[in-house]
C-alpha cells in the first residue's frame, strides 16, 4: 500500500522513472514521503504509518501527533467548491480562480501523498483521480496539483497546458518540482502548488517560454538552488475521455551545459514543436458504448496510426496494383477494432 519516494536525492539516469515521481523539498533535502496506494478512505495500516512518519520528520516528534489525534474539538474542514465562471469571465481571471482553489486545498505536509498518480496512466484515468480530489478536498503535493489543474482547465479550449518540471541542486543534493505550464493569447504562465510562494503560480504575462523558465530559475536562486535540468511535455488534450498518455518529457534540457542564448533557442524550438502538434488532430476517443464493446480496451491508441504509416512509407517508384476482382459482398463486411 505504501511506497517510499525520495525527492531526487542521489539519482542518476537509471533512476529516471523514480525521479519523475519525486517531490521538491527545499527545507532539509531528501526527506522521503509515502504514497497511499490503498485509495480512500485511508486504511488503518496506511493511517498509522502516516503518523509514525510525521513523528519522525516533525520538529516536535511524537508530541504533535498525540496532540492532534487526542483533540476532540478540531474544526470540521469544509469541502471546497470547484470554481465556476460567467461567460464573460476572462481567461486570466479563470486561471486565478483555479490557482486559488488549488492553494485553498493547502500543501500536504504530512509526508504521505493521499492520491496515487501514475504518469503512465491514460488521461481519462488521471481525470477520474482529479474528480476524487475535488470530492475529498484533501491537501495535495505538486504532481497532484498538475493533474487537478488539467482537470479544472479542460473547459478552456483557448488555453494550452503542458507539464513543466525542474531539477535543482543544493548542498550536494538534487530536488524535483513540477508545475502546469499554460499558454494563451501569446503569453505563458503556470499553475501549481509548492512550499514556496514563488515556485507555483505565474500569471499569463511571459512573452516566451524562455522568459517563464528564467522566472522560475530566478526564484530558485533566491533559495540558493542551482537549476540543472528542465523537462517540458507536449500540450495536453482537452478531451477528459482521451485514452492518450500525457507526454511528460518531450524535451529534456541540461541547463547547466548551455549558455543563456542556447537555452533560449532550445526553448523556442520546443515551443514550435508544441504549436505544430495543435494542427494534428488526435484520433477521437471511444464513446461509452464503443468502450463496452471493445475487446481490448488497453490497446495502444497509436496502433491504427502505425498501420497507416506503413502505407505512406511505400517507395515512390512502387505502384499499387489495382485489384480487377468484383467488389466484395458488403453483407459479409465486418469492422475490426
- Contact between 11 and 53 under an 8 Å Cβ cutoff? The reply is no
CB atoms within 10 A of CB 85: 14
Residue 182 and residue 94: Cα distance in Å, rounded? 12
Q: Which of 165, 194, 237, 285 is catalytic?
A: 194
Q: Comparing C-alpha atoms, which of 191, 188, 186 is closest to residue 154?
A: 191
Q: Which of 8, 53, 165, 177 is catalytic?
A: 177
According to DSSP, the residues that pair with 183 across neighbouring strands are 160, 188
Half-sphere exposure of 328 (CA within 13 A, CB side): 6
Residue 210 and residue 253: Cα distance in Å, rounded? 12
Q: Which of 8, 53, 142, 165 is catalytic?
A: 142
Q: What is the CA radius of gyration of the chain?
A: 23
Contacts of 62 (CB under 8 A, 6+ apart): 55
177 is catalytic: yes
CA dihedral 239, 241, 243, 244 (to 10 degrees): 20
CB atoms within 10 A of CB 217: 18
Instruction: Return the active site residues.
Output: 142, 177, 194
Amino acid at each position: 500500500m505504501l511506497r517510499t519516494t525520495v525527492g531526487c536525492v542521489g539519482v542518476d539516469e537509471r533512476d529516471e522513472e523514480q525521479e519523475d515521481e519525486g517531490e521538491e523539498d527545499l527545507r532539509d533535502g531528501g526527506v522521503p514521503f509515502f504514497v497511499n496506494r490503498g485509495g480512500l478512505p485511508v486504511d488503518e495500516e496506511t493511517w498509522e504509518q502516516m503518523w509514525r512518519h510525521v513523528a519522525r520528520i516533525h520538529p516536535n516528534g511524537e508530541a504533535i501527533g498525540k496532540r492532534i489525534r487526542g483533540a476532540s474539538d478540531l474544526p470540521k474542514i469544509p469541502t471546497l467548491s470547484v470554481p465556476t465562471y460567467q461567460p464573460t469571465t476572462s481567461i486570466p481571471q479563470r486561471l486565478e480562480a483555479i490557482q486559488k482553489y488549488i492553494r485553498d486545498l493547502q500543501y500536504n505536509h504530512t509526508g504521505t501523498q493521499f492520491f496515487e498518480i501514475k504518469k503512465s496512466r491514460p488521461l481519462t484515468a488521471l481525470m477520474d483521480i482529479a474528480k476524487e480530489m475535488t470530492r475529498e478536498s484533501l491537501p495535495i503535493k505538486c504532481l497532484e496539483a498538475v493533474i487537478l489543474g488539467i482537470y479544472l482547465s479542460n473547459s478552456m479550449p483557448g488555453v494550452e497546458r503542458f507539464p513543466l518540471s525542474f531539477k535543482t541542486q543544493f548542498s550536494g543534493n538534487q530536488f524535483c518540482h513540477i508545475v502546469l505550464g499554460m499558454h494563451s493569447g501569446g503569453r505563458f504562465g503556470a499553475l501549481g502548488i509548492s512550499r514556496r510562494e514563488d515556485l507555483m503560480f505565474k500569471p499569463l504575462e511571459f512573452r516566451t517560454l524562455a522568459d517563464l523558465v528564467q522566472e522560475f530559475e530566478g526564484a530558485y536562486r533566491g533559495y540558493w538552488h542551482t537549476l540543472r535540468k528542465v523537462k517540458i511535455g507536449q500540450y495536453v488534450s482537452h478531451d477528459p475521455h482521451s485514452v492518450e498518455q500525457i507526454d511528460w518529457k518531450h524535451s529534456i534540457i541540461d541547463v547547466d551545459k548551455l549558455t543563456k542564448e542556447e537555452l533560449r533557442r532550445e526553448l523556442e524550438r520546443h515551443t514550435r514543436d508544441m504549436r505544430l502538434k495543435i494542427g494534428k488532430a488526435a484520433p477521437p476517443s471511444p464513446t461509452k458504448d464503443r468502450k463496452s464493446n471493445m475487446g481490448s480496451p488497453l490497446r495502444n491508441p497509436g496502433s491504427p496510426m502505425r498501420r497507416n504509416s506503413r502505407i505512406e512509407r511505400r517507395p515512390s517508384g512502387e505502384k499499387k496494383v489495382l485489384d480487377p476482382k468484383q467488389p466484395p459482398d458488403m453483407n459479409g463486411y465486418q469492422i475490426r477494432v
